[in-house]
Amino acid sequence: MNLFLYCSKHFYPLLPPIITALEKQGHGITVPNSYNEPFKEEEMKKLGREEHLRWKSAMMRLQESKIRANDAILVCNFEKTTSPILSAERRSWKYSKPGNSGKRFSLLSDSRQYFQR
């Protein structure tokens, strides 16, 4: 099965063992757009509102094509904090592009316990 991984950019460093385990099981993996440059959006914001919006629009289109190309979405839900921001992120999931894609999705809740070696 081809899987699109979805999680906060703050947890990208935790994805490699998950990717390795899933690939060993024969799954194809697509990582998030900014996986190799997790804080690129912060750089783009410094270039000004218009440049940031152009970049963000392009990233959203790219994400849509990646989601369409996969069979399912795997949400890696690591605990970051108990802040209201995290709660808002969780509530907004159902309104996001991946949440509205019509694709099957699974949730790994605090996946670190399953993939640490």
Confidence of residue 87 (pLDDT cuts 50, 70, 90): very low
Q: Is 76 exposed, middle or buried (0-12, 13-18, 19+ CB in 10 A)?
A: buried
Q: State the residue range of the domain holding 105.
A: 2-115
How many CB atoms lie under 10 A from the CB of residue 32? 20
- The mean pLDDT of 50-73, rounded to a whole number, is 90
Residues 26-51: pLDDT tens digits?
Answer: 999 999 989 999 999 999 999 999 99
Name the band, by pLDDT with cuts 50, 70 and 90, for residue 75.
confident
Residues above pLDDT 90, as percent of the chain: 34
Lowest model confidence (mean pLDDT) among 27-31, 54-58, 110-114? 110-114
The total of structural domains in the chain comes to: 1
